[in-house]
Amino acid sequence: MNVVDGILSIYQWQGSVHEGDEVMLVAKSRRDLLSRLLERLASMHSYEVPEAIAIQVVDGWPAYLEWLDRELSPPEI
């Protein structure tokens, strides 16, 4: 997870243009876990409509992708 502070957002909401400071959260996950992640985000977020988008990873450093997959897998019992 990465937390990026110091973001200035300019957006239209309910017919008006708004500007405000925001913090961006980048959460890495898997597609099969996305719905749970989005539900959790929505339950915790202060915005009525939080920005939550999924970006598909098409490739990456193999060792990192293997590590990520291990970390997102349920623990073996």
- How large is the greatest C-alpha to C-alpha distance in the chain, in angstroms? 53
Chunk the chain into consecutive blocks of 10 residues (it has 77) and report each block's average pLDDT, rounded to whole numbers. 95 94 93 93 91 93 94 82
The beta-strand segments (E) located in 1-77 are: 2-13, 16-26
Q: Encode pLDDT of 46-65 as tens digits.
A: 888 899 999 999 999 999 99
Cα–Cα distance for residue pair 51/12, rounded to 1 Å = 13
User: What pTM was estimated for this model as a whole?
Assistant: 0.73
> Could you identify the residue written with the tokens 């099969």?
32
In this structure, which topology does domain 2-72 adopt according to CATH?
A: Alpha-Beta Plaits (3.30.70)
Q: Which two tokens stand for residue 37?
A: 């992640």
**C-alpha to C-alpha distance for 47 and 44, rounded to whole angstroms:** 9
